[in-house]
Amino acid sequence: MTKLLVGLLALASAGMKTIAASSSAPAFSALVQVFSNGVVECPTGAFSGGHATTGVAVRFDFGLPPALPARRFLLDNLPILQTEWEYRGVRYTQRVLVTRLGEGPLDGMSEDAVLGVQIAGESLVQEYTNASASLSLKVGRDPWPLELRGGWIYCPGQAPLLPLAFLDIPSVGIVKTNGLRLEFEGHMPPANSGAMTLWVPRQQLAPGPVRERLLDLDFGETLNKVRDFWRRPEARKIRPPLGWGDAPSGTGGGKQP
């Protein structure tokens, strides 16, 4: 009788733990998560130009200011995630969205889906100042070396031997083109601004039409396309591909990867 009671209590305890774990878990994990330090993570490896094994997290770090953001919000209350920092006389603005090279739903599930991340810097002071950013990549727990050639970003030593992504940036802002961290810097006059945009597709970037269409992407035009789609009534039935990775408040805490 005593053994039976002990067994029943153990089963009840295990059941309670299962219920507690399931109730505290998020309803779903977005394809793309944006953290308050500017890190953009794809928990299932969805956006990696075909480099990551399915289910392995891919993490892009842009070297944004080591401070809590001034603001974080959904642009126009749509699945376009905007984060702003004000640091050493520069306002840094990160916008993250998911688009596609063709037409159709922007749920991030199509083969032609593309992740877009724009980093913009704007001088807030009346003298020359420097703005800086960088790019590093982790696949799972491993940092991967990167190489920037002609705008295309490669992962040396990793298959496939095709680009991971395309980086649209003025050549004058490029400081370091290979290694575990690519580095960028701009010497900004008063009231000046500049930007760079990273485009990361789901599928491999083999030579041909896909690469050409990716090169034709313009962030301003893409932003309008994404806005127009998510404002349609039918878009309300579609799960957004983006979400916050930690506390969504502008100055709140939360975990950081």
For 44-87, what is each residue's pLDDT tens digit?
999 999 999 889 999 999 999 999 999 999 999 999 999 999 99
Q: Is residue 238 part of a domain?
A: yes
Q: Is residue 24 part of a domain?
A: no
Q: Do 132 and 183 contact (CB within 8 A), yes or no?
A: yes
Q: Is residue 252 part of a domain?
A: no
Q: CA-CA distance, 195 to 121, in Å (whole number)?
A: 6
Q: Is residue 255 part of a domain?
A: no
Q: CA-CA distance, 239 to 245, in Å (whole number)?
A: 16
For the chain, give percent helix, strand, coil, nearest 5: 20, 35, 45
pLDDT confidence of residue 26: 39
Q: Is residue 186 part of a domain?
A: yes
For residue 114, give its domain range: 31-244
Q: Is residue 10 part of a domain?
A: no
**Ranges under pLDDT 50 in the chain:** 1-27, 250-255
Q: Is residue 251 part of a domain?
A: no
Place of tokens 């992504």: 165
Q: Is residue 253 part of a domain?
A: no
pLDDT confidence of residue 206: 86
In the chain, the number of structural domains is 1
Of 75, 35, 81, 31, whose CA–CA distance to 57 is shortest?
31
Predicted structure pTM score: 0.86
160 preceded by cis ω (within 30°)?
A: yes
pLDDT confidence of residue 65: 95
